[in-house]
Amino acid sequence: MAKQRVLSGIQPSGKLHIGNLVGALQNWVKLQEQYECYYFIADWHALTSQYADTSQLKEYIKDVLVNCLSAGLDPAKATIFQQSHVPGHAELHVLLSMITPLGWLERVPSFKEKQEAVTDKDLNTYGFLGYPLLQSADILIYRANYVPVGIDQMPHLEITREICRRFNNFYGEVFPEPEGLLTEFPKVPGTDGRKMSKTYGNCIYLSDTPKEVEQKVRTMMTDPQRIKRTDKGDPELSPVYHLHKIFSTKEEQDQVAEGCRTAGIGCIDCKKILIKNLFKVLEPLWEKRNVFLEKPKDLEDIISAGSHKANNAASETMEQVRKAMKLDNIVSL
Ligand code: TRP
């Protein structure tokens, strides 16, 4: 039996951080063993909000690619590609736009939320409204069965399923209905306790040097009520403890939590344990990263071979789409 298909994408809208690693990349690496996986760099999606200044786009695309590979994505197992190198995504997007009621897009929660939250850019654009539909095209063009995403992306999956049904109703069964594979992961706090996000400047980046990682953890916020070494603290109020929950063993978690509550351990020592464990996860990544950065030609080959494979799969679907919509060759009349 043919393997089921998995598809997911990541936007090159900034450098990747440890939240992207535990929230997406590690899961992608697992899935490549079991499914036929398509993973891509969603550069067009990044343009929907960062169209005015594209000066850093290339750098971010490279950062995503290098980190995907360093985290263990294997081009021999998964197809790794760049969205803008597969024009079929745009063709399907325009065809799907014909059957998409405006209200469906206006109702997607991320549309209004992001428009309101982002004040330094004009997101009153056609491209930004169409963001979820472009995502639908990404998914449907590979006839993906599963789409691993975080909870924030679930509304985009829902609209994709609605578009899928609407298309199949009009033109016949072309697309299987994709399912979201919810990646359950605790929220990764940034160094100031808020959600880790480049807009807050509180990220530990995968491209940070060991020194930078150490420095960021050392100056990280802890329980704000624990001022003196002898003060007792509440680990739940410390973002350091929340990172321990992700990166440390159960024994270490219990040890630092108990130590925090009883003032048995100081914040510096608690942070040292976290630094040790972060290094354990990041060291193999740093090693591979350095190898890839020395061979830019290999990176280019990987992305162009992946995009070529993706193009083949996308073209097959597009032939069926054109046929279903009666846009194929009139000579066949
Ligand atoms: N919107 C996704 C995000 O910001 C990225 C993305 C674009 C995506 N196209 C996709 C994810 C298709 C899954 C499937 O995380």
Q: What is the CATH number of the domain that holds 132?
A: 3.40.50.620
Q: Is residue 202 included in any domain, yes or no? A: no
Q: Is residue 43 included in any domain, yes or no? A: yes
Measured distance CA(35)–CA(49) in Å, rounded? 32
Residues 108, 46 within the same domain:
yes
Looking at residue 242, which CATH number applies to its domain?
1.10.240.10
Q: What residues are in contact with ligand 1 under a 6 Å CB criterion?
A: 7-11, 42, 45, 135, 138-139, 147, 149, 153
Measured distance CA(247)–CA(141) in Å, rounded? 36
Residues 177, 129 within the same domain:
yes
Residues 280, 310 within the same domain:
no
Residues 117, 76 within the same domain:
yes
pLDDT for 333 beyond 80? no
List the one residue out of 215, 220, 213, 191 whose CA is nearest residue 203: 191
Q: Is residue 201 included in any domain, yes or no? A: no
Q: Is residue 193 included in any domain, yes or no? A: no
In this prediction, residue 332 has a pLDDT band, given cuts at 50, 70 and 90, of low
Residues 87, 107 within the same domain:
yes
Which residues does the annotation mark as catalytic?
114, 195, 198
Higher-scoring residue by pLDDT: 228, 330: 228
pLDDT tens-digit map of 221-258: 999 999 999 999 999 999 999 999 999 999 999 999 99
Residues 306, 284 within the same domain:
no
Q: Quick one: CA dihedral 209, 211, 213, 219, positive or negative?
A: negative
pLDDT tens-digit map of 161-209: 999 999 999 999 999 999 999 988 778 999 999 999 888 999 999 999 9
Number of domains in the chain: 2
The whole-model pTM stands at 0.95
Residues 37, 62 within the same domain:
yes
Token readout for 207 is 């491209």
Domain of 242 in residue numbering reads as 210-290
Residue 94 is predicted with a pLDDT of 98
Residues 174, 54 within the same domain:
yes
Residue 72 is predicted with a pLDDT of 98
Residues 282, 147 within the same domain:
no
Identify the residue whose C-alpha is closest to ligand 1 atom 8: 9
No. of H helices and E strands in the chain?
Answer: 15, 5
Residues 172, 215 within the same domain:
no
Q: Calculate how far, in angstroms, residue 134's C-alpha sits from the geometric centre of ligand 1.
A: 9
Burial of 117 (0-12, 13-18, 19+ CB in 10 A): exposed
Residues 177, 49 within the same domain:
yes
Section 22-42 average pLDDT: 97
Q: Is residue 135 included in any domain, yes or no? A: yes
Residue 331 is predicted with a pLDDT of 79
Summary mean pLDDT of the chain? 96
Number of residues assigned to the chain: 333
Q: 6, 10, 145, 151: which to mutate for ligand 1, most atoms within 8 A of CB?
A: 10
Q: Do the Cβ atoms of 206 and 20 come closer than 8 Å? A: yes
Residues 228, 314 within the same domain:
no
